[in-house]
Amino acid sequence: MVLFLGTLCAGNAYAKSSEVLTAAAADDPFVEKQSYLAQIHANQAWDVTTGNAGLTIAIVDTGVDLNHPDLQPNLVDGVNLIDPNLPPQDDNGHGTNVAGVVGAVGNNDKGVAGILWQTKIMPIKALESDGSGGEAKLGEGIRYAIDHGAKIVVLSLGLNKYSTYMSDIVRYAEERNVLLVAATGNEGNRVKYPAAYPTVLAVGGMDSNLTADERSNSGSEIDLVAPWDVFTTARGGSYELKDGTSMAAPQVAAVAALAWSRHPDLNVAQLRQLLKQTAQDLSTAGWDRTTGYGLLRADRALTETPRSDMYEPNNRKDQAKSISVSKMNSAAFAGGSDQDWFYLDAPYDGVVHLNFHIPSGQTVTVQHTNVHGTFTNVTAKPGQPTALQVSKGRSHVQLQLSNRSVESEVRYQLTTSFDIYRDQMEDNDRQYKASVLPSRSQTIKGTFHQMNDEDWFELPVQISGSLRIRLSSDTARIDPVLFVQKQGERSYSVDDGGDGAAETMQLSEVFPGSYYIRVSNVKQYALPVEGEYTLVIDYDAKQIDPNEPNNRSYQATAISLNSPYSGLFDKQSDTDWFQFEVPQESVVQLSLSEIPANIAMQMSLYDSSMRPVTNASGGKQVELNERLPAGTHYVKLTAAQPFDRHLYQFTVSAKPLTAGYSDVQGHWAESSIMLMSRQRIIDGYADYTFRPDQTITRAEATVILSRAFQLKQQKNVDYTDLPADHWAFAHIARASQSGIVGGYPDQSFAPDQPVSRMEMITMFARSMNKPGQVRGDPPFTDVDNDYWGVSVLRQMKAEGWIGGYADGTFRPDRQASRAEFVTMLARMKM
């Protein structure tokens, strides 16, 4: 597998800037063409320092023009790994472009100015003249640089494959305090390796509009962006305009060298964190998948003080800071009482692993709230990855030292990694385990979640027809390979495209029998992949409706709930009737899918007396959601025009309702929820759910208490985060008047913040006028006499209102669920 060179020729287009040059501006003739210098505020950085002559930066690339007058004074001995008998002379131009961005001599009245006017550039030729190369030479080049004194290595190249070999090289650099800076790539796809490794600084490209260039690779591993367009040195002593993430990465490397001259005591992890800390947000605040932590800012990197925790303040959920699911980050606990909140945006369902590097003897309590609002608590030990099951979307983690008595600052590093979900077709890694598919056209999404994963499918062809199969992926880390074989006959394999390219196989004539389909990644990409493949099977055959005759209501096909039924319309007058039984009042979903393209269908629902209830129509998919009583119900399906080459799919599912909710039946809090619902104290969501295990927010809890105690009087409240049109404003004002709730010292109320178990008990105690005057020992093993709520806990425990866990703890700081809150309220109201 060959490496990429991330530069694209861009003609005369370069970013414009209105920046005013400072007194430290270079006098080089072409400096006005170097608009990227103003974008990263290099001029202001030069007011502090213009170089780092004591530090060596290695450029592992195509070599460097060793005779270029604007580079020669800053060059030191390097190596040619392609031909060790020759010097590392650039025979491509790419390495010379990179070198000019890093360290073209500044203020020498020649050409351009590098970000470092004085430095030591070590040229390492690891790529051929056409820019190709393998990871063996890449790894050799990085190791050579480290072993010969380089402190920063620039890698404006990459490939789509993770390898244990390169991972070991990256770890070798980290252990020797050497910074690796790499380009993310220019295909508008996922971050390439080595940029994608956790401790490599991954650099994307920014356009002149301060947004990520659409060609710049992005994803979970990106750290920063720098300008896409540069004017730089070229082979033969000349200069040229170049672009791409290959030109962005050396900007970050050069600024890192400037910052290291300013803060020589920083280790490589702290240096990476400083560049993230001082980046300029470009879109959302904090880290995101397209620009990382934002735009490289040379001035801030040299003038701001490195912080032990750049994420503070993040002591509450509403202050949570964004971090990647696949990178190393540094932070600190101010002490045992300090809480660090982060949120992670998982690109798919899967598992996020947290690995803490923290002083010996310390452990971290991790509270994870997933995208659905349910939470888990685990204790993380140093060097032992902690696995968190996540769904696609945003989840939160609350981190805190397990030893709450610690008073001094404790610094830690958190490395996250992500494993994609195991697709629903597994285990189908062998032909004899092939997942049997329905004999129709369909689309399947799958993953390569484990080492050497491959997926087998069996398609039973019952009627002669044609078959077209297309295999695609959403990431260039997958180079899909498609294999098809009819049982007992010749096989066909397709791998015409490269990384990320779709593969298609057309069988113009297929006959009854079993067709086996194998989906795999190329053999070189054996490891699990963060990405999905899509297998589209178009089977075109004349179909037979298995439910006919069902053209009249009295001929309606009786169907079972949650079972799919197929059908078609072979003539204009065709109508399909179905009937189903609902055993008790339920929320019923009727789903009509697999509708052929350009066909509109209508679904009409009738009760047992054949009175119309509702209807829906559309193409591709039609759905109805209705609250229906127990009994028999009928459905009529019609189509705007006939079709007989594809089967639609019809499914009816039902969720029984308890107290009007579909998710409380059999729950341990069912009786309490029913009681409070009958009294109209609580309500659920528009989808007929109550979500009992979801954390309850301060606003929700306050509204429930206001209704339960029929609070009427309200005072004027002026919380900074609670506008008058907030849905809970009136109830919060009433509860504030009665003293049940209050705000925070910063005049906020934090209505969406989860309520802890201690806060819940405090609200109930205030509602019952129980000030906590009972004396005695702490009632629970995890609460001492210095805890702020101990007096309330004593009284509520003594009077039998609360109990702890079997181990004698109360866990007061754990988030309370909606079920816990309602159950406590039900006890009070009984």
Q: Strand 179-183 and strand 157-158: pairing? A: unpaired
Specify the pLDDT at position 2: 45
Q: Which of 163, 216, 246, 435 is catalytic?
A: 246
Q: Strand 152-155 and strand 51-61: pairing? A: parallel
Q: Is the pLDDT of residue 523 over 90?
A: no
- DSSP-derived 3-state class of residue 147: helix
Specify the pLDDT at position 544: 81
Q: Do domains 4-303 and 431-536 have the same CATH topology?
A: no
Specify the pLDDT at position 9: 32
**pLDDT tens figures, 84-121:** 999 999 999 999 999 999 999 999 999 999 999 999 99
Specify the pLDDT at position 782: 93
Tell me the torsion sign for CA atoms 143, 144, 146, 151: negative
Of 815, 772, 712, 827, the closest CA to residue 370 belongs to 815
Q: Is the pLDDT of residue 468 over 90?
A: yes
Instruction: Tell me what the mean pLDDT of segment 381-406 comes to.
Output: 94
> Does 109 participate in catalysis according to the annotation?
no
Measured CA to CA, the distance from residue 589 to residue 473 in angstroms comes to 31
Return the structure tokens found at 220.
């979970």
Q: What's the pLDDT band for 5 if we cut at 50, 70, 90?
A: low
Q: 553-656 maps to which CATH number?
A: 2.60.120.380
Any idea which fold 4-303 has? Rossmann fold (3.40.50)
> Does 663 participate in catalysis according to the annotation?
no
Residues near 191 by beta carbon (within 8 Å), at least 6 away in sequence:
184, 185, 202, 204, 217, 218, 219, 220, 221, 222
CA distances 316 to 325, 344, 389, 603, 753, Å, are 20, 15, 22, 48, 8
**pLDDT tens figures, 264-280:** 999 999 999 999 999 99
Q: Is the pLDDT of residue 622 over 50?
A: yes
What single DSSP character describes residue 640?
Answer: S
Comparing 472-486, 539-553, 592-606, 646-660, the range with the smallest average pLDDT is 539-553
Specify the pLDDT at position 463: 86
Specify the pLDDT at position 14: 26
Specify the pLDDT at position 3: 53
Residue 435 is inside which H or E element, if any? Answer: strand 435-436
Amino acid at 639: A
Beta strands in 629-755 (DSSP E): 631-639, 643-656
Specify the pLDDT at position 829: 78
Residue with tokens 């209704």: 707
Measured CA to CA, the distance from residue 205 to residue 40 in angstroms comes to 12
Instruction: Tell me what the mean pLDDT of segment 821-829 comes to.
Output: 90
Q: What's the pLDDT band for 691 if we cut at 50, 70, 90?
A: very high
Q: Kindly report the backbone phi and psi dihedral angles of residue 46, in degrees, each rounded to the nearest multiple of 5, phi listed first.
A: -65, -20
Q: Which of the given ranges, 173-187, 493-507, 757-771, has the highest pLDDT on average?
A: 173-187
Backbone conformation region of residue 513, classed left if phi is above 0, alpha if psi is from -120 to 50, else beta: left
Of 570, 580, 577, 582, the closest CA to residue 554 belongs to 577
Provide the percentage of residues in the chain whose pLDDT is more than 90: 83
> Does 61 participate in catalysis according to the annotation?
yes
Q: Is the pLDDT of residue 769 over 80?
A: yes
Q: What mean pLDDT value characterizes the chain?
A: 92
Q: Is the pLDDT of residue 21 over 80?
A: no
- DSSP-derived 3-state class of residue 106: coil
- The larger pLDDT score, comparing residue 26 to residue 279, is at 279
Ranges of each domain in the chain? 4-303, 317-420, 431-536, 553-656, 670-829
Measured CA to CA, the distance from residue 427 to residue 450 in angstroms comes to 11
How many degrees, rounded to 5, is the angle at CA 159 between CA 156 and CA 165?
Answer: 100
Instruction: Tell me what the mean pLDDT of segment 748-777 comes to.
Output: 90
Beta strands in 447-552 (DSSP E): 454-461, 465-473, 480-486, 491-494, 503-510, 513-521, 533-541
Extract long-range pairs of 79-83: CB within 8 Å, 24+ residues apart: 79/124, 79/125, 79/141, 79/144, 80/125, 81/124, 81/125, 81/126, 81/137, 81/140, 81/141, 81/144, 82/125, 82/126, 82/127, 82/128, 82/137
Specify the pLDDT at position 11: 29
Torsion of CA 783, 788, 789, 790, to 10 degrees: 50
**pLDDT tens figures, 666-689:** 999 999 999 999 999 998 898 899
Instruction: Tell me what the mean pLDDT of segment 26-30 comes to.
Output: 92
Measured CA to CA, the distance from residue 191 to residue 183 in angstroms comes to 8
Count CB atoms within 10 A of the CB of residue 396: 19
Q: 317-420 maps to which CATH number?
A: 2.60.120.380
Instruction: Tell me what the mean pLDDT of segment 679-708 comes to.
Output: 93
Specify the pLDDT at position 10: 30
Beta bridge partners of 394: 345
Residue pair 602/617 in contact by the 8 Å Cβ criterion:
yes
Q: Which of 28, 61, 545, 663 is catalytic?
A: 61
**pLDDT tens figures, 438-448:** 999 999 999 99
| pTM for this predicted structure | 0.68
Instruction: Tell me what the mean pLDDT of segment 571-595 comes to.
Output: 94
Specify the pLDDT at position 541: 81
Q: 431-536 maps to which CATH number?
A: 2.60.120.380
Instruction: Tell me what the mean pLDDT of segment 168-172 comes to.
Output: 97
Specify the pLDDT at position 278: 97
Measured CA to CA, the distance from residue 232 to residue 14 in angstroms comes to 12
Q: Which of 94, 449, 633, 646 is catalytic?
A: 94
Instruction: Tell me what the mean pLDDT of segment 213-230 comes to.
Output: 96
**pLDDT tens figures, 233-244:** 999 999 999 999
Q: Is the pLDDT of residue 644 over 90?
A: no
Specify the pLDDT at position 68: 98
Measured CA to CA, the distance from residue 646 to residue 463 in angstroms comes to 12
